[in-house]
Amino acid sequence: MTENQETTEVSEAQIAVHWREEEYIQPPASFVAQANAADPAILERFAEDKFPECFHEYADLLTWDERWHTTLDTSNPPFWKWFVGGKLNASYNCVDRHAQANPDKTAIIFVAELESEEPDHISYGELLRRVNEFAAVLRDFCGLKAGDRVTLHLPMVSELAVTMLACARLGVIHSQVFGGFSGHACGTRIADSGSHVLITMDGYYRAGSLLDHKEKADQALEQAARQGQEVDKVLVWRRHPGQYASAIPMAAGRDFFVDDLLADYRGVTVEPVSMDATAPLFLMYTSGTTGRPKGCQHSTGGYLAYVAGTSKYYQDIHPDDVYWCMADIGWITGHSYIVYGPLALGTTTVIYEGVPNYPDGGRPWKIAEQLGVRIFHTSPTSIRMLRKVGPEEPKKYTYHFRHMTTVGEPIEPEVWRWYHSEVGKGEAVIVDTWWQTENGGFLGSTLPALQPMKPGSCGPGVLGVYPVIYDEDGNEVPKGSGRAGNICIRNPWPGIFQTIWGDPERFVATYYTKYNKDPNSTDWRDWPYFANDGATQAADGYFRILGRVDDVINVAGHRLGTKELESAALTVPEIAEAAAVPVIDDIRGRIVEMYVSLKPGAASEGVEAKVSLAIETEIGKIARPKNVWVVPDMPKTRSGKIMRRVIASVSNFADVGDVTTLANPEVVEGIKHRVQSTKVAKGELPRQLSEAEYEEIAKFGAES
Ligand code: WTA
């Protein structure tokens, strides 16, 4: 069965969702008075009849070596090409031009987790020096050139931004793997991208301890080698130059300390390589329906224009702002809205190393006060967590946010209100930005000075992006109907990814085949982008995103594929079958529970711990299941498919629905009794689920 057919089955139901519509909240006049997009004429400039030329306004925020001749080339759909003929360099745009105009201005403030370490203010001039010197290492010591791929496995440190920008300077395609991912996960991504160089760090601080990170590099290389990819150089930044924080020995001739290498490149400058707008800038791996992660390939010109434009109008970044996005650069949010967008606009961006609640739940507000942060950007999971551990903390600090963002998951209106009144002190606008790794930048959001906020809804499509909700048959679900369907984007936009690295067929099948009207058409109108999210649209045009319609579980804003989780569990020799399901969680949105059955004769002793460890090893700690349930048999259809919706319902104390068509309906009661009584005994009773949450669980994984 193809991935696409599976997806179709999964999102079958046409569900009625009866949301209580929330009230509008208007932006404060003080915000409107200074906003970058305060004149409604901007909505006209981006109206559909101005597409695609409307996006010149974004591209004109950049400095081009050569201007494009074709704004949007649709000749090979759905592989859209933006700003064809244009040439530019991303590192020049994010560093050089600001360093020339304003060398002493702070580009990056690195805030270490330990408060004893002073924040490091890196000026644009200094950033330029660091980027040049490291680019020289990459070019002259590693022999890297435009088009080569390099895997980065770095924590939240300024060296990560320097590394990305140094790659961009050379046209080398960076592929940063989230630092919290395991060595195995990193190794798979090294192999998929064909990287010969890995760039990592010895250790970093998290929740108060210095973690050994270099150990993951050795595991990554072994895993990559098993998949046929040899890595010849490992560059190791040291968290404290001169001091090695890892217990793992450096491999002679393969592993090199970056601070040692840099000694030979002091003051060396590297000319930024003028790249085609359509040349890839980076890969960002994400999860999908099948087990294999997808390397989303982002372009240089379209991507950079899109993140610059959306940073200006939706993040309302002005050059003199101190802007803090508390995401991880290892995810797309960090690439677009910590590094590339803010730096393209020449603002000051904060990089914070650690967890938000170290040493206590007031840390973010303390940092905001110390640094004078005016724009703050985070996820619902962090907001829920900070609200839980320190509801009164924001009051203790005298920061003033003008603008706040939420991203990555649906946010409950109640949590939104705490963010607005307590964190924002009622003074800040909020944008709820909906988008995906594949998209480069925002797809759905209010334009903060021009469109009022509505808690729980992301808002309409952003400038130049025209979303639509389709049912399974491709009929438009009208706004205000209260019905949910699959949210799609009718048109291409400059931030859209170019392809899945090495797998163009999967790119077409996953995102375009479902709603394509004519495979031979070169008219973009025939190629809606299928986002794999469910949504409803209110009468006012605002969208409410309900969550994934494919087999992806969004844990604290991190996408985890059920197939990835299941194949990790299957590495435990005792396991015959495994199924991953989501459980609604008050802090992390969703958490994972695993159901496993054993091979005949296998001992059940310690299997739960082995499964957890296997998932941690294959993917990373973020994926660790809340519970592992060993069951005698999985509930299955007559054709032998595991009914994930049945076990998902059991785990969430929801109605298991009709089980009479199962091949083995008798197993359900036993599983339910054991799982639910154990959860009750552990105090893991869920709260009352909303209607939409019940729907999600009842549909989860459909049949397969
Ligand atoms: C979900 C993160 C509701 C959605 C930028 C999407 C959201 C997935 C929102 C992408 C939001 C993202 N409201 N849900 N504002 N933003 N999502 O690729 O299900 O890590 O498909 O990109 O997160 O996650 P990804």
| Cα 101 to averaged position of ligand 1 atoms, centre (Å) | 36
Q: Indicate the SS3 state at residue 467.
A: strand
Predicted confidence at residue 20, as pLDDT, reads 67
CA 347 to chain centre: 22
Predicted confidence at residue 640, as pLDDT, reads 83
Predicted confidence at residue 86, as pLDDT, reads 98
296 vs 284: CA distance, rounded Å: 5
Name the residue among 659, 641, 653 with its Cα closest to residue 704.
641
Instruction: Tell me the pLDDT band of 111, cut-offs 50, 70 and 90.
Output: very high
Instruction: Tell me the pLDDT band of 156, cut-offs 50, 70 and 90.
Output: very high
Which residues, at least 6 apart from 83, have a Cβ–Cβ distance to it below 8 Å? 59, 68, 70, 71, 277, 278, 301, 302, 305, 494
Task: Write the residue with the smallest CA distance to atom 5 of ligand 1.
Answer: 436
| Cβ–Cβ < 8 Å for 193, 175 | yes
Predicted confidence at residue 702, as pLDDT, reads 65
What is the identity of the amino acid at 620? G
Residue 592: pLDDT above 70?
yes
Q: Which residues does ligand 1 sit against, CB inside 6 Å?
A: 286, 331-333, 407-410, 432-437, 458, 533, 545, 547-548, 554, 559
| Cβ–Cβ < 8 Å for 493, 464 | yes
**Mean pLDDT in residue range 199-212:** 97
**Mean pLDDT in residue range 154-162:** 98
Predicted confidence at residue 1, as pLDDT, reads 33
Predicted confidence at residue 331, as pLDDT, reads 96
pLDDT digits (tens, 9 = 90+) for 314-364: 999 999 999 999 999 999 999 999 999 999 999 999 999 999 999 999 999
Predicted confidence at residue 16, as pLDDT, reads 39
The DSSP 8-state label assigned to residue 463 in this structure reads: T
**Mean pLDDT in residue range 468-488:** 95
552 vs 558: CA distance, rounded Å: 10
Which residues, at least 6 apart from 236, have a Cβ–Cβ distance to it below 8 Å? 200, 201, 202, 214, 217, 250, 255, 256, 257, 258
Predicted confidence at residue 482, as pLDDT, reads 86
Instruction: Tell me the pLDDT band of 124, cut-offs 50, 70 and 90.
Output: very high
Predicted confidence at residue 3, as pLDDT, reads 38
Average pLDDT for the chain: 94
Name the residue among 613, 651, 616 with its Cα closest to residue 631.
651
Share of the chain above pLDDT 70, in %: 97
pLDDT digits (tens, 9 = 90+) for 453-472: 999 999 999 999 999 999 99
**Mean pLDDT in residue range 525-536:** 96
Residue 699: pLDDT above 90?
no
Residue 525: pLDDT above 90?
yes
Predicted confidence at residue 488, as pLDDT, reads 98
What is the identity of the amino acid at 284? M
**Mean pLDDT in residue range 583-602:** 95
Task: Write the residue with the smallest CA distance to atom 25 of ligand 1.
Answer: 436
In this structure, of 37-46, 132-141, 345-354, 541-550, the range with the lowest mean pLDDT score is: 541-550
**First vs last Cα of the chain: how many Å apart?**
11
Predicted confidence at residue 17, as pLDDT, reads 47
Predicted confidence at residue 551, as pLDDT, reads 86
| Cβ–Cβ < 8 Å for 567, 296 | no
Q: Which of 404, 409, 433, 537 to mutate to test the pocket of ligand 1 (most atoms within 8 A of CB)?
A: 409
Locate 72 and state its tokens.
């949007």
pLDDT digits (tens, 9 = 90+) for 89-106: 999 999 999 999 999 999
pLDDT digits (tens, 9 = 90+) for 649-666: 999 999 998 888 889 999
| Cα 437 to averaged position of ligand 1 atoms, centre (Å) | 8
Residue 14: pLDDT above 60?
no
Predicted confidence at residue 291, as pLDDT, reads 75
Name the residue among 616, 618, 667 with its Cα closest to residue 646.
667
The DSSP 8-state label assigned to residue 216 in this structure reads: H
Predicted confidence at residue 641, as pLDDT, reads 86
Locate 267 and state its tokens.
């003051």
Instruction: Tell me the pLDDT band of 288, cut-offs 50, 70 and 90.
Output: confident
**Mean pLDDT in residue range 616-640:** 93
Q: Indicate the SS3 state at residue 684.
A: coil
Q: Which of 559, 588, 590 to mutate to test the pocket of ligand 1 (most atoms within 8 A of CB)?
A: 559
Q: Which residue has the higher pLDDT, 378 or 17?
A: 378
pLDDT digits (tens, 9 = 90+) for 254-282: 999 999 999 999 999 999 999 999 999 99
